Amino acid sequence: MGPDGGKVVAAKVGEGHDRRSMSEKSPPIVAIDGPAASGKSTVARRVASALGVVFVSSGGMYRAFTWWVLEKNVDPAANAAVVELLGATSFDCGDDCGVGTITVDGQMLAPEAISAERVNRNVSIIAAIPEVRSRLVAEQRAYGQSNGLVMEGRDIGSVVFPDTPYKFYIDASPEVREQRRRAEGITDSIAERDKADSSRAASPLVVPEDAVVVDSSDLTVEEVVDSVLAAIAEQRDQV
């Protein structure tokens, strides 16, 4: 374990060691997972900007479709109706100044819409539906086809990009996470969401194998970002 409780990736030097500098290598796909309000979004955004790659919040994609379900007055618990709506919905994913965007049936949603309380309350129900996951996972993988990115979520290292060597799991104590949400002035049932996200059958929240685990409870954002960037640089020396 490293000084901040995270796993330290041991340097591997020797035969076949690639001596190209970091900037000469193809841009990395960085997977950052963790529970609600662990700080992973802020960290992912800053890591992406430091690496010069796109930042994508996969949670934003589940939120956007949840907003659409509610907007269409479909009961989130009625799986068949949600799946029917999914089949009739088009998604268009792209990026705007290095930040991933999604339009749902041509509508670009404001951040306030997708972080509204009713979306917080229902997103884990929608995200547990396997058909919703496979459709959005396909969109998420498409982002990684040509360029590097930093994507944060719950199953990015375990399911979306299982082959990337750059996997992180950012955690924080339940008290710290509750406190962070309160400070943001957001009403969010994070304990219920975490329970639902960790216990569902389809792609539950897990610590991916080989992930570097960082407990951010007592760290500043800068400290977490620095430790993630240092681990990426170390790992990049080996691939």
What contacts 168, CB < 8 A, 6 or more positions away?
30, 31, 32, 33, 40, 157, 211, 212, 213, 214, 228, 231
**How many C-beta atoms surround the C-beta of residue 126 within 10 A?**
25
Nearer to ligand C5P, 180 or 236 (CB): 180
**Neighbouring-strand partners of residue 30:** 150, 166
Q: Which of 45, 46, 154, 167 binds ligand C5P (CB under 6 A)?
A: 154
Provide the pairing of β-strand 99-104 with 91-96. antiparallel
Is residue 155 near ligand C5P by the rule CB under 6 A? yes
Is residue 177 near ligand C5P by the rule CB under 6 A? no
Least distance from C-beta 236 to ligand C5P, angstroms? 24
Least distance from C-beta 33 to ligand C5P, angstroms? 7
Nearer to ligand C5P, 39 or 153 (CB): 153
Q: Which of 28, 39, 59, 148 binds ligand C5P (CB under 6 A)?
A: 59
**Neighbouring-strand partners of residue 103:** 92, 108
Is residue 132 near ligand C5P by the rule CB under 6 A? no
Is residue 127 near ligand C5P by the rule CB under 6 A? yes
Structure tokens of 221?
A: 């954002």
Least distance from C-beta 200 to ligand C5P, angstroms? 8
Calculate ∠ Cα 214-216-222, nearest 5°: 100
Is residue 171 near ligand C5P by the rule CB under 6 A? no
**Neighbouring-strand partners of residue 21:** none
CA atoms within 13 A of residue 237's CA, in its CB half-sphere: 11
Q: Which of 63, 167, 177, 180 binds ligand C5P (CB under 6 A)?
A: 63
Is residue 36 near ligand C5P by the rule CB under 6 A? yes
Applying CB under 6 A, the span of 57-65, 81-89, 168-176, 212-220 interacting with ligand C5P comes to 57-65
Is residue 167 near ligand C5P by the rule CB under 6 A? no
Distance CA 5, CA 101 (A): 33
How many residues of this chain interact with ligand C5P, rule: CB under 6 A?
Answer: 14
Least distance from C-beta 217 to ligand C5P, angstroms? 18
Q: Which residues in 73-112 contact ligand C5P (CB under 6 A)?
A: none
Q: Residues of 72-99 as b/e, b for ≥16 C-beta within 10 angstroms?
A: eebebeebeebeebbeeeebebeeeeee
Distance CA 205, CA 147 (A): 26
Residues forming contacts to ligand C5P in the complex (CB under 6 A) are 36, 58-59, 62-63, 123-124, 127, 153-156, 193, 197
